A and B are shown apart, each in its own frame.
Chain A
Amino acid sequence: MADYRDHYSQIRAAGANVTAVSVDTAEQSEALRAQLSLPFPILSDRERRVIREWDLLNLRERGGIAKPSVFVIDPGLLVRYAAIDTVASRVPAAEIASVLRAGRDAGQIRRKTYLPLPADWMRAIRNYFRKD
C-alpha cells in the first residue's frame, strides 16, 4: 500500500486512479488510510462477497482475508492486468506506473522478490492466532 502511495502521482499522471479493497471495517480502513497517509479510497468487503466472487479469499487466516493482488481495470471493465502476490513476490507499483504511462498491454511485468523480515514473521504469527 505504501509502495502505491509513493507512486500515486506517477499513476495519476498517467491518467489512472487507485482503489484498495479489504475485509476490514470502514473504521479500520480509515485508521490505516490516516496512518499511512493513503491518498486513495479503501472499500470494505466485510461479507467477503466480492473477494469470494473474484476467488481471492484466503480462508487460512482470521475468518478469511483477501489474497494480496493487483488488477488494472480499463473503462468498460476490461482487465488489462491481473496478478496475485505470492509470499515472496510482489508487483511493484513502479512497474504498474510504467505500463499505464505506455498505455500498453501489461504483458510482462517484472515482479520483485522480497525476503520476509523477522517483523513479517511476527505479523504472520499474530495474524494466525487472531480472532475477529
Chain B
Amino acid sequence: MPKVPRQGETAPDFCLADTTGTERHLSELASDGPLVLLFYRGWW
C-alpha cells in the first residue's frame, strides 16, 4: 500500500537516476548526514 513516510518512521529506500544518468540510492544520499528531500511539481 502506498504510504507517506511519517516522522519517526523508516523511509523505504529507492534508487533513481540523476540528470547525468547516475543511479542514486536514498540510503547513499542520506549516509553522511541528514538529507533534505524535495519532491516538486516539475517543469512548466
Q: Residues on A close to B: CB < 8 A?
A: 1, 4, 11, 14-24, 26-33, 41-45, 49-57, 61, 65-82, 84, 96, 100, 105-106, 123, 126-127, 130
Question: By DSSP majority rule, is chain B's interface helix, strand, loop, or mixed?
Answer: loop
Q: How many residues of B contact A (CB 8 A)?
A: 38
User: Contacts A33-B19, A44-B17 hold; do A16 and B42 have CB atoms under 8 A apart?
Assistant: no
Q: Residues on B close to A: CB < 8 A?
A: 2-14, 16-21, 24, 26-27, 29-44
Beta-carbon contact of A18 and B42 below 8 Å: no
Most buried by A among B9, B17, B26, B41: B41
Beta-carbon contact of A54 and B34 below 8 Å: no
CA distance A116 to B20 in the complex (A): 34
Beta-carbon contact of A72 and B35 below 8 Å: yes
CA distance A11 to B36 in the complex (A): 9
In the complex, which residues of chain B have a beta carbon less than 8 angstroms from the beta carbon of A123? 44
Partner of B30, one of A1, A21, A61, A73: A73
CA distance A22 to B14 in the complex (A): 14
Partner of A53, one of B14, B19, B21, B31: B14
In the complex, which residues of chain B have a beta carbon less than 8 angstroms from the beta carbon of A51? 39
In the complex, which residues of chain A have a beta carbon less than 8 angstroms from the beta carbon of B36? 4, 11, 16-19, 70-72, 96, 100
CA distance A30 to B42 in the complex (A): 11
CA distance A33 to B21 in the complex (A): 15
